[in-house]
Amino acid sequence: MGAKAGETEARPPSLAVALRWTSKAHSDLVRLYEFLQPVHPPAAARAVRGLVAAAKRIPARPRLGVRLAEFGAREVRRIVIGSYEIRYELSGTDVYILRIFHTREDR
């Protein structure tokens, strides 16, 4: 049944997952930008924007990434975006971006 004029329909509670960034992940983005910027400033900005956009898509499908067994009971996963890996952890209704690094880095 629809709502009357001036009323809103009752909606089920939101199951939204919050996206949170660790200080290390933020530092990783800064480090990436500072590495690329002297060589090609537009590419540096594009890379950071692309990684941030990819991270923002994770809450919609948080279990899409591959689970990393070395973290035991913690639900740490990874997705690869181009040549970069985003590691994130699912905890309750939050997604924590843990680290971002180039896949050639020894991590």
Predicted confidence (pLDDT) per residue in 34-85, tens digit: 999 999 999 999 999 999 999 999 999 999 999 999 999 999 999 999 999 9
Rounded to an integer, what distance in angstroms lies between the CA atom of residue 35 and that of residue 93? 34
Q: Can you name the residues that pair with 96 across neighbouring β-strands?
A: 20, 89
Q: What is the CATH number of the domain that holds 26?
A: 3.30.2310.20
Q: Residue 2: pLDDT above 90?
A: no
Give a yes or no: residue 13 inside a domain: no
> How many Cα atoms occupy the beta-carbon half-sphere of 8 within 13 Å?
3
Q: What is the dihedral of CA 59, 84, 67, 65, to 10 degrees?
A: 40
Q: Can you name the residues that pair with 102 across neighbouring β-strands?
A: 84
Number of independent structural domains in the chain: 1
Q: In the structure, what pLDDT confidence band is assigned to residue 12 with cuts at 50, 70 and 90?
A: very low
Q: Residue 6: pLDDT above 70?
A: no
Range of the domain at 52: 18-102
Global pTM value? 0.81
The residue-averaged pLDDT of 84-98 equals 96
